[in-house]
């Protein structure tokens, strides 16, 4: 099916922009079925690129090819998957890390699909009904390209990428043990492939966790806020912290964090795991004059709790100011955000503002963006969402 692109957008597509935006196309009413392969053409019906129709929060579909003869079939997906696997050869041969991303959406040429690897198991995440409609070919292609123990899937269909709770996320092969123990830089993680939207770890923070363990943790106290399963705390403890404190609002975070300590032979009894709103905890910590050598801030880009709404783009300065007050002198704040709404430059500006408003001084020790396996499309900077800055508090 041909869809005409508005003149202003033609060059974007010719230059490799992968997202098909709503505004760029005139005739959306012509397509009704998500998953339809569409040819974007100019007003003279000349071919520009082809892609699929699939509604996501980001747009109305993704470009798949700039060649008019390329068919979007199993062979097409095999080609994409093979090239993604090749790009990650060093991950497959590394025995100390058995969990990583093998296919990262538009970074690997197909927006709306990610594939993660967990020690022989593959987890596909579908970000629209459109890409899910292409599932048969994609699964065929994956099965022909890898040796797998089992395949799982997550559907994140609605416009906001929310997880659809299917009774069963298992697709084929053998079922993974629960938990499945994977390794990251020799540290164990307990993973649950069929237990809701999240599996227990966010793989994109791998380099940050290692850095905390190897360069910062020894002999220090660590406060881990928005801690989820406590991954930063576990790496801290293995790096020699004197104590970690993990704070998360979700009740499940307590048993989950205890488990992550346990699978690494760390006695969780010696660590603090607190189920509470982070913003209440900050108040408590200030009142009790607590201070920590390392404070990790890793909030979701948007969250609503009973008392607070947190939006990274609006409230990060406030969050930093809370953290600065309970960080020891010469301590380090690890400030992280996965918000695609602002750049690293803006994020650094937030840091400057927070210290300025408290009359403090700081030095940036180092910063991180997505690791290699989270491949980014250079024509789609929004995909490069992760920003992490290690900030030394001087005053
Ligand atoms: N830092 C984690 C990932 C964080 S996911 C890791 O490295 O694995 C975001 C977490 O923030 C969720 O577990 C959620 O329960 C928690 N959360 C959201 N709002 C919160 C709040 N106001 N106080 C405490 N935790 C919160």
What pLDDT digit, counting tens, does each position of 19-69 carry? 999 999 989 999 989 999 999 999 999 999 999 999 998 899 999 999 999
Q: Which CATH architecture has domain 202-393?
A: 3-Layer(aba) Sandwich (3.40)
Q: Is 315 in contact with 335 (CB distance < 8 Å)?
A: no
pLDDT digits (tens, 9 = 90+) for 165-215: 767 899 999 999 999 999 999 999 999 999 999 999 999 999 999 999 999
| Whole-number Å distance between alpha carbons of 211 and 367 | 11
Q: Whose CA is nearest to atom 21 of ligand 1?
A: 277
Residue 128 is predicted with a pLDDT of: 95
Q: What angle is formed at CA 206 by the lines to CA 200 and CA 208, rounded to 5 degrees? A: 120
Q: Is 383 in contact with 339 (CB distance < 8 Å)?
A: no
Q: How many A from CA of 318 to the centre of ligand 1? A: 17
Domain ranges of the chain: 2-65, 74-180, 202-393
Task: Tell me the two tokens of residue 245.
Answer: 């404190």
Q: If residue 366 lies in a helix (H) or strand (E), which one and from where to where?
A: strand 362-368
Asked whether the bond before 186 is cis by omega within 30 degrees of 0, the reply is no
Q: Which CATH architecture has domain 74-180?
A: 2-Layer Sandwich (3.30)
Percentage of the chain lying above the pLDDT 70 cut: 98
| Fold designation for 2-65 | 2.30.130
- Measured from CB, residues less than 6 Å from any atom of ligand 1 are 202, 205, 226-229, 231-232, 248-250, 253, 277-279, 298, 300, 303, 305, 308, 310
pTM score of the predicted model: 0.96
Task: Tell me the two tokens of residue 238.
Answer: 């293995």
Is the pLDDT at 14 greater than 60, yes or no?
A: yes
Q: Whose CA is nearest to atom 19 of ligand 1?
A: 303
Mutational test site, ligand 1, from 189, 204, 259, 299, max ligand atoms within 8 Å of CB: 299
Q: Whose CA is nearest to atom 22 of ligand 1?
A: 277
Span of 55-59, 87-91, 108-112 with lowest mean pLDDT: 55-59
Q: How many A from CA of 210 to the centre of ligand 1? A: 20
The SS3 of residue 260 is: helix
Residue 160 is predicted with a pLDDT of: 59
Tally of CB atoms within 10 A around 270:
11
Q: How many A from CA of 343 to the centre of ligand 1? A: 21
Ligand 1 atom closest to Cα of residue 298: 1
How would DSSP label each residue in 116-147?
EEETTEEEEEE-SHHHHHTHHHHHHHHHHH--
Mutational test site, ligand 1, from 212, 228, 230, 312, max ligand atoms within 8 Å of CB: 228
Please tell me the total number of residues recorded for the chain in this structure. Answer: 395
Is the pLDDT at 159 greater than 60, yes or no?
A: no
For 219, counting Cβ atoms within 10 Å of its Cβ (0-12 exposed, 13-18 middle, 19+ buried), the class is exposed
């Amino acid at each position: 099916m041909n869809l005409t692109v508005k003149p202003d957008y033609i060059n974007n597509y010719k230059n490799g922009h992968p997202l098909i935006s709503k505004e760029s196309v005139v005739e959306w009413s012509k397509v009704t079925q998500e998953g339809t392969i569409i040819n974007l053409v100019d007003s003279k019906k000349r071919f520009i690129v082809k892609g699929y129709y699939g509604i996501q929060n980001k747009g109305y579909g993704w470009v798949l090819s700039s060649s008019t003869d390329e068919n979007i079939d199993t062979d097409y997906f095999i080609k994409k998957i093979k090239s993604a696997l090749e790009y990650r050869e060093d991950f497959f041969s590394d025995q100390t890390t058995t969990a990583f991303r093998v296919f990262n959406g538009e970074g690997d040429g197909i927006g709306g699909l990610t594939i993660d690897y967990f020690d022989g198991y593959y987890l596909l995440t579908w970000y629209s009904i459109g890409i899910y409609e292409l599932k048969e070919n994609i699964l065929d292609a994956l099965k022909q390209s890898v040796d797998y123990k089992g395949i799982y899937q997550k559907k994140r269909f609605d416009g906001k990428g929310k997880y659809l709770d299917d009774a069963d996320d298992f697709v084929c092969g053998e079922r993974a043990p629960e938990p499945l123990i994977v390794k990251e830089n020799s540290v164990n993680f307990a993973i649950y492939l069929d237990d809701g939207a999240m599996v227990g770890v966010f793989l994109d923070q791998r380099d940050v966790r290692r850095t905390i363990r190897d360069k910062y943790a020894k002999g220090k106290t660590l406060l881990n806020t928005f801690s989820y399963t406590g991954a930063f705390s576990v790496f801290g403890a293995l790096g020699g912290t004197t104590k970690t404190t993990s704070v998360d609002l979700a009740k499940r975070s307590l048993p989950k964090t205890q488990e992550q300590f346990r699978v690494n032979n760390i006695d969780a009894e010696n660590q603090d795991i607190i189920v509470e709103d982070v913003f209440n905890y900050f108040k408590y910590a200030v009142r009790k004059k607590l201070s920590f050598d390392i404070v990790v801030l890793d909030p979701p880009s948007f969250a609503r709790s009973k008392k607070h709404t947190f939006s990274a783009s609006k409230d990060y300065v406030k969050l930093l100011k809370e953290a600065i007050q309970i960080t020891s002198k010469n301590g380090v704040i690890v400030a992280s955000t996965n918000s695609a709404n602002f750049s690293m430059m803006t994020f650094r500006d937030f840091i400057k503002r927070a210290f300025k408003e408290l009359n403090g001084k700081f030095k940036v020790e180092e910063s991180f963006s997505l690791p290699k396996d989270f491949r980014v499309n250079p024509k789609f900077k929004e995909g490069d969402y992760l920003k992490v800055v290690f900030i030394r508090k001087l005053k």
